[in-house]
Amino acid sequence: METQTIYVYLPDEGTDVWAPVDAEHVRDDVYRIVDCRGEDKAAQFGKDALVRCRLQNLSGDGGRICECLVAYESSN
């Protein structure tokens, strides 16, 4: 199955930080996280978690704004 990048929140950072992770599309807005790229313990959702995602504007390097898929809640 093909993976794509989604972003998960890192709650222990001093500011709002979102880390890229690899996920498989399951259905509708639901994705399964398959690789947290080393952020397993720091991320709001870890490997194998089913999460609901939505498009959200995030600021990147140099202040660029990009529209990204962001995990916002667990899914069953």
Residue 72: the pLDDT is: 97
pTM above 0.85, yes or no: yes
Give the pLDDT mean for 19-42: 90
**Percentage of the chain lying above the pLDDT 90 cut:** 67
Residues 27, 4: Cα–Cα separation, whole Å: 14
Domain positions in the chain are 3-74
What's the rounded mean pLDDT across residues 33-60? 89
Angle (CA) 21-26-29 rounded to 5° is 80
Mean pLDDT of 48-66: 91
Q: At 60, is the pLDDT very low, low, confident or very high (cuts 50, 70, 90)?
A: confident
Phi-psi region of 58 (alpha: psi -120 to 50; beta: other; left: phi over 0): beta
8, 45 Cβ separation under 8 angstroms: yes
